[in-house]
Structure 1
Amino acid sequence: MSDSADGAASRAHHDLVAQPHERDDEGPIADAEAEAERMRSDERPLGRLGRPLDRRSPFFVGMAGAAGVAVTYVLAQLVLGTRDVLVLIGLAFFLAVGLEPAVSWLARHAWPRAAAVATVLATLVAVFVGFLVMAITPLVDQATQFASRAPEYLTELTSKGSWVSELDERFDLRDRVQKLLSTNQDTLMNGILGAGRMVFGVLTNTVIVLILTAYFLGYLPAIRRTMYRFVPSSRRPRAILIGDQMFARIGGYVLGNVLISLIAGGVTFIWLIVFGIPYALLLAIAVMILDLIPAVGATIAAVVVSLIALTVSLPVGIATAIFFIVYQTVENYLLAPKIMGRVVQVPDVVTVAAVLIGGTLLGVVGAIVAIPLAAAVLLLFREILFPRLDRA
């Protein structure tokens, strides 16, 4: 090997790898290192791409097929084994995309992106903490009141002539309940511990989702660029147009759905206070949360609140049911079109089907994200699949 080639090979060998560098023992590797040094430049410190492999080679076809099967199997096992974690990651990314319009709006008005992300997340955390304070405090107070009046309720229920005492005399309910409690203490204790673990798990998952959402929001521009890098350069402009439109639809749906749910909770709270329906704050919060679930959430909330309103009086219960019917009509035909506009563009039948499928697969989370995902899929169909089928 010449002195110049020897010097090039020395420069190509990384200073932090396999030292000391014994060039005399490397043979053909030293020649490759010299060539590596010649092909390196300031613009491309790792060299240019080499010639593509011959994809028609039998060896390449066989290896590609075997690798495809192996990778598919490993990915399937990975998805099944990490399903819960992937759901949290997907939910966090969904929330980040949903909050991105607010961050971008602040960034367009001369806010640094870091400050915009921090402001949006601080608002989200404040709303979440405020919800916990509003929900937990009344719940504890009402539970304390119920516990203090429990003996009075028990006396009234078991007094002679009540329907509970008649059932007790006919079916011997008291002895059956005592026997059930005495023989299933371990089961009851496991149930209580299980409920405690569930609450702890929900709080932990909520914190994880908030942290992941913060990371996704902060790095969303970089994530967006990386996603588009996977698209061939000839198709990249079209992919950017379609991809950004999908992100905008998801973001518009999330923010619009949250705003409509806040309005539903506020209007319900005012109605409950005016008519003296008990547990007004808790019921309003429940309506706000259930209204986030498309198609079925508002109906469930209306039924629950109307049943509780019946405890005040029959006219109040009927009036509450009518109130929800009127409000849902206003929400569906006035508020939703005004707030969301034409962001989603999903037919009603697709909405119901998407909610049912999403709820079956991922529960409440699946039902919430089903409609914007369906909107994204329909956009792909309209812009890519249908035109190609029309030309076929």
Structure 2
Amino acid sequence: MQHDARRPPRWWGKGLAMAVLAVFVGLFAWDALGALQGLLVNLLIAFFIALALEPIVVWLVRHGWKRGGAAAVALLGGLLLTIVVFALFGNLFVQQLVQLVKNVPDLYTSAQEMVEERFAVEVPAVDDLVRQGAEQWGSEVASGALLVGTTILGGVFAALTILLVTYYLLAAGPRFRASICRWLTPGRQQEVLRLWEVTQVKVSDFINTRIVLAAIATAATFAFLAILGTPYSLPLALFTGVVSQFVPTIGTYIGGALPIAVALTSQGPPQALGVLAFILGYQQIENLWLAPKVSARALEMNAAVSFVVVLAFGAVFGALGAFLALPIAATIQAVANTYVQRHELVRSHMLHDPGEADPREDDSDPGRGDPGGRGDVDKARAAAREVDRRRDAEA
């Protein structure tokens, strides 16, 4: 039957209503995601902490512990270790940090005098900067001070949420994975469990490696600054160690800029050059010897890709997003190594520099002989089967 062009089609009203409803549902979902962003970030942090602690829980379970007790011991042990570290160094850290903040005007004045003497550039005085800041941001600081209590309570609530979710994930363990797999077909279950295993191994190794390297960098930097006599050595060393490991590519230079500036303004150019030489030398030692030894099993990422990922997550989720960017990138790369099949390389001069070996002949290529990136999974499964066989034999 031909439609009368003078009248709208019969589906017009229903289609218009469905479109309006879809718009309202989309706006509601967008607002809900914005409101739940903090909770989602806390859940993501808890998930990565659970992945990092899962090997400890599995080790305890294999030695006769109950799953719930092993999860509690692993979580409380990590929390207790963090408290002990802060208790040992917290007092000195706070004292040096407070002293550093108090002496910021003096450091600025020293830098101002040095710049004016050597480069004949007029730099604003400290009093002018303070007056200008009070005029521009005084009201904002006063209003922000009222939110300090709320911020502290929010931080405590977020920490408790992360701890509880982490414990539930660790305590559930296989039961949580089983509850997910019940909604999938047997074939899909194998893929999900394989992906979970690869992600757990890679992310756990990655996070643990970053923590170990940050601790080593902090200790080495603190020892050098203490020997050099640079003030505020502990907070400067902690800043350098954390930033150098969790900000890719340029993290070492960003972390080392602050100690160099403090040494330059408080001690002089020779000490600043000494700190610069130490930062450059330590980076070479870490890249060429220390990091390959510590992170032999960890997931390595291209420096440019990881740097872009940190910038992207930092722009979207702030400082916490930048901190979590590298574990998330490790997870994505583990997924790609599991599901994306890699192929043999063609012969071309574009794939290597003059004088270098053909990459097709490189046996260390992770894609050769293991196109799915499942070698780590097979090794983990073989080790688990061997442990189960020995335990059954002993029983």
User: For this structure pair, what is the TM-score category when the shorter chain's length is used for normalisation?
Assistant: 0.5 to 0.7
1:245 maps to which of 192, 198, 202: 198
Q: Deviations over 1:270-291 (max 9, x none)?
A: 1111111111222222233323
1:79 and 2:33 matched: yes
What runs of 5+ residues in structure 2 fail to find an aligned partner?
1-14, 111-115, 117-122, 344-370, 372-395
Q: Aligned residue for 1:371? A: 326
In the TM superposition, what is the alpha-carbon distance from 1:132 to its structure 2 partner? 4.0
In the TM superposition, what is the alpha-carbon distance from 1:134 to its structure 2 partner? 5.1
**Structure with more relative contact order (C-alpha pairs < 8 Å, separation 6 or more):** 2
Q: Aligned residue for 2:80? A: 126
1:231 and 2:184 matched: yes
In the TM superposition, what is the alpha-carbon distance from 1:86 to its structure 2 partner? 0.9
Q: Deviations over 1:136-178 (max 9, x none)?
A: 5235534776899999x79x99xxxxx9xxxxxx999869966
Distance in 1 (CA, whole Å) between partners of 2:274 and 2:101 is 31
**How many residues end up aligned between the 2 structures?**
315
Residue identity (%)? 25
Change (3 A) 1:184 1:350: closer
> Residue type matched to 1:213 in 2?
T
Change (3 A) 1:136 1:191: farther
Maintained 8 Å contact 1:114/1:218? yes
Residue pairs, 1:326-341, within 5 angstroms = 326-341=281-296
SS in 1 for 2:262: helix
Q: Aligned residue for 2:317? A: 362
In the TM superposition, what is the alpha-carbon distance from 1:342 to its structure 2 partner? 4.0
1:97 maps to which of 31, 34, 51: 51
1:317 maps to which of 272, 294, 313: 272
Which protein has the larger Cα radius of gyration, Structure 1 or Structure 2?
1
> Residue type matched to 2:168 in 1?
Y
- CA-based RMSD of the aligned residues comes to 4.1
Q: Aligned residue for 1:297? A: 251
Maintained 8 Å contact 2:52/2:204? yes
Change (3 A) 1:228 1:335: farther
Distance in 1 (CA, whole Å) between partners of 2:46 and 2:140 is 35
Q: Deviations over 1:43-76 (max 9, x none)?
A: xxxxxxxxxxxxxxxxxxx9xx99x969983644
In the TM superposition, what is the alpha-carbon distance from 1:344 to its structure 2 partner? 1.0
> Residue type matched to 1:332 in 2?
N
In the TM superposition, what is the alpha-carbon distance from 1:184 to its structure 2 partner? 7.2
1:268 and 2:221 matched: yes
Maintained 8 Å contact 1:252/1:343? yes
SS in 1 for 2:206: helix
TM-score, with structure 1 as normaliser: 0.67
Distance in 1 (CA, whole Å) between partners of 2:142 and 2:246 is 33
Maintained 8 Å contact 2:205/2:297? no
SS in 2 for 1:284: helix
What runs of 5+ residues in structure 1 fail to find an aligned partner?
1-61, 158-162, 164-169
Change (3 A) 1:309 1:207: farther
Change (3 A) 1:301 1:180: closer
